[in-house]
Amino acid sequence: MVEANLLGGLIGGALIGIAASLLLLMNGRIAGISGILGGIFGPIGGADRFWRVAFVVGLICGAAIYSFASGGFKIELQASNLTLIVAGLLVGFGTKLGSGCTSGHGVCGLARRSPRSLAATSTFIAFGVLTVFVARNVF
Amino acid sequence: MALPLSSFVIGIFFGLGLAVSEMINPARVIGFLDVAGRWDPTLMFVMGGALAITLPGYALILRRRQPLFNGEFFLPTKRDIDRQLILGAALFGIGWGLGGFCPGPALASLASGSPAVFLFVLAMIAGQWLASRYAG
């Protein structure tokens, strides 16, 4: 178990907030990652697809830059490959059906004071907590 | 070229934020969701830090008639708290709790080259595709 990283959380969170604000200011888009990703594979035109791909490539580069600068990636996997596939299917299906994820609902939607985003954020955090509780304490 | 170029640079900021806050580490996310264990509040500080910028930022930006490089703002139009929203969020929450990955951190951690992350992202894209068929 790792110690809490509150300062890193605040600084990283502020960077995410700045990025989300800039995307709205410059491109008029909500920084919901599931929506940006879904659009890449959706039935849309090339120009709309291009900015989404550029964003995702930037996202990967940003994580790479920090991890190389700080001496490597710290990714401690919490599940087997099979569980990760099930988890991925649920995350993809759920974020598409529920119109958003942690960034779209949790950061951007709450900033717009959207009741839908508040309902969604409360729901996915509650079910995340429940899932971890069941996985850690029941099985 | 303004749209893809700005998107790329903004994506870098977002990815830096996810890495600095260690949200690309599923142990951090599971630690936050594990309220009955050794609870790790880091994720709450990430959302707080982000909202401290976006709450005032969005209000200011949306006073403009249009964004800098685009003709209009693309904002969600749905208003109802319906079954799809809650069911979708619940399924997402279960997947989030199982793997410790949500879409942003999963994509960002592709940079590590981890085959397990790659599997998760492929499954996530497949899940989105299934939902777009199911939801019509």
Q: Taking CB atoms and an 8 Å limit, are A99 and B101 in contact across chains?
A: no
Q: Residue A1 — pLDDT band, cuts 50, 70, 90? A: very low
Q: B51 and A27: CB-CB below 8 Å?
A: no
The region of weakest confidence among A43-52, A85-94, B104-113 is A43-52
Chain B interface includes A91 (CB < 8 A): yes
Yes or no: say if B82 and A98 are a contact pair by the CB < 8 Å rule: no
Average of per-residue pLDDT across A74-95: 97
Q: What is the tally of structural domains in chain B?
A: 1
- Residue in this structure with the two tokens 């977002």, named with its chain if needed: B14
Lookup result for tokens 């319906």: B82
Q: Can you tell me the distance from the alpha carbon of A91 to that of B72, in angstroms, rounded to the nearest whole number?
A: 30
Is B125's Cβ below 8 Å from some Cβ in A?
yes
Q: Give residue A2's pLDDT band: very low, low, confident or very high (50, 70, 90).
A: low
Report chain A residues whose CB lies below 8 A from the CB of B66: 28
Q: What number is the ipTM of this complex?
A: 0.96
In the predicted model, is pLDDT for residue A99 greater than 70? yes
- Using CA atoms, how far residue B93 sits from A128, B30, B100, B134, in Å, is 4, 11, 10, 19
pLDDT at A42 > cutoff 90: no
Mean pLDDT within A21-49: 91
pLDDT at B80: 93
Residue A110: name the closest of A122, A102, A99, A118 by CA. Answer: A118
Residue A37 has pLDDT above 60, yes or no: yes
Q: Which domain holds residue B115?
A: 2-134
pLDDT over 60 (residue A3): yes
Residue B53 at interface with chain A, using a CB cutoff of 8 Å: yes
Residue ranges covered by each domain of chain A? 77-139
Q: What is the DSSP letter of B110?
A: G
* Amino acid letter, A121: T
136 residues of chain B, pLDDT tens digit each: 899 999 999 999 999 999 999 999 999 999 999 999 999 999 999 999 999 999 999 999 999 999 999 999 999 999 999 999 999 999 999 999 999 999 999 999 999 999 999 999 999 999 999 999 876 5
Share of chain A above pLDDT 90, in %: 87
Phi-psi region of A101 (alpha: psi -120 to 50; beta: other; left: phi over 0): beta
Q: What is the pLDDT of residue A138?
A: 84
What value does the mean pLDDT of chain A take?
Answer: 94
